[in-house]
Chains A and B, each alone.
Chain A
Amino acid sequence: MDPLEVYKVEAPGEEFGARKYREIILDILQDLGLVRSIGRLYVYVDIEKPYFAVYGMLRGSLPPLRVGDVADVVKTQEGYQVKVNEEEHLADMLKVLWEKYGRDRVEQPDRDLLTVSSDVSPADLIVTDVDAEFRRDLTDALIRIAPEGFRNRRNEMTEDSFLFIASEETITPELIEEVREKIRGMENA
């Protein structure tokens, strides 16, 4: 069963290729842990021209991760104490705290404990922008998915969707319009 709501792959004249690319795309998205963030996926391949197009709808964007989300922040006499719950974010968090308060005001008495000597709470500082990271991973996945020779690429990302076109030839406005037309056709089918 597909973990995606809608998943269509079309490659006129290359039924085997379409079937196989279905597997490849799913394999790569699963490898990179991106499947859950994508709702619908439409893939259209025209091997005569040739071009390779992927259009996807994203499942709502994730808010950025703040210090308060991954750690408990407690007010103390000297300032604030930060107890880190998710250690994978520790390195990013330290970097952010150093930047905000300066190295001499941030200390790490224990592996998962940080102290900040300041009156300003660090709870609202952004540790990582999960959404930006996801978009970076997605672009990487799309480059991996597209056939290797298709070196001319165009990637349009909006709030809730993306359109990726890869081709051997120059990508012209006419080609982009054609791709949009095909994808619209697949959506309405």
Chain B
Amino acid sequence: MLEPVMFTGGVYKHDLVIELVEDLGGYLLQKNVTQSEVILLLLVPAEDLKILEDLTKELRGELTRAPLAGTEVAVVTPTLAIHHLPHTACDIAEYLRRNGSKTNMIGLARGVGREIAQINEYETALINEHDVAVFLFGNFAKCIIKKEELYKGINIPVVVTGGPEIPKGEMPYAFEYVSSVGRIAHRSKKANEIGNLDRIVAAVGRALDKMRADIEKDPLTTSPPRVMDVVREQVPDIERSYSPLPIALNLTGCRIKLPYDEYHEAIGDVRFDEGVTLKEIAKILPSRMKNYTLVRILPESETGMVF
């Protein structure tokens, strides 16, 4: 069982942490260097966590649990206008990031209004590439209920936020509804506002747990971090990708930030130690996000093996 954790500390000797995690059989998901500080998102075997904790103490760093690490969350607003940004949308996205998730903000083209709100096929498909979507709505109960149309066609769990209390029965298509958020024109800083952000993170966590439980019923042939590792090793061009996170992990695969047309064959031919290639155990698809490549790992029932 791999435990998702976040290491925060000085740049000096932080490579010792990376080395240790690799020796323990864990994975480095993301590395962010900000001047003299470094933030590492790691997956570490739960039983060896103590060793990493000791090293962190020695380096005067900080190790916190990042329950959403290795997942991608979409924060969806009706549009990218001043009504939703920077408060609420950025606060929520940033808070999810602090808990380790890779968060993308998506503004719909025509998501505004009660009667006129729409979502198109491209937007739906883009949101479906994530693990969980968080839809941010406003302060009027009737509008929030009516706007169900926007997320009806989405296959991943949808956490809806809004202002007023609404009974769960009114919103059958939402995985969970988090109230008392709504539209806010100031930064979240009061204790109750931070509490609301915690409730959103908890709801996203529950949605992810449900996804994990669903996957567990028919386990994936291999784990996404493993795919990330071999792709990093065997497709060296990934190092030249300008994205801060060249390989973003999902629960069912990963998004590789290399152009699909040029690289999908190279990525498909990546070979595991077990002798199989990636294209035998996964679907390599063009992503809706830019021209990236999407990898979806097939379950055991389709490939007949797990490693």
User: Which B residues have a C-beta under 8 Å from some C-beta of A?
Assistant: 78-79, 81-84, 112-117, 138-143, 163-165, 182-186
Contacts and interface: CB of A to CB of B under 8 A. Distances in A.
A24 B83 CA distance: 10
Given A17-B164, A23-B185, A31-B185, A149 B113 contact: yes
Does more than half of chain B's interface fall in helix, strand or loop, or is it mixed? loop
Nearest to B142: A47
Contact of A28 (B79, B142, B185): B185
Interface residues of A, number: 23
Contacts of B143: 47, 147
Given A14-B164, A16-B164, A20-B183, A148 B83 contact: yes
B113 A151 contact: yes
A29 to B, nearest CB: 10
A118 B208 CA distance: 76
Contact of A21 (B79, B116, B139, B141): B139
A144 B83 contact: yes
Contacts of A137: none
Max chain B Cβ within 10 angstroms of own Cβ: one of A14, A20, A168: A20
Given A16-B164, A48-B142, 19 more contacts: A13-B142, A14-B164, A16-B182, A17-B138, A17-B139, A17-B164, A20-B163, A23-B185, A24-B183, A27-B186, A50-B114, A144-B82, A147-B113, A148-B78, A148-B79, A148-B84, A148-B113, A151-B113, A168-B114
Given A14-B140, A24-B185, A147 B83 contact: yes
Contacts of A162: none
Contacts of A47: 114, 140, 142-143
A130 B139 CA distance: 34
A167 to B, nearest CB: 10
* Ranked 8 nearest A-B pairs via Cβ: A149-B113, A27-B185, A149-B112, A16-B164, A17-B139, A20-B139, A148-B83, A148-B112
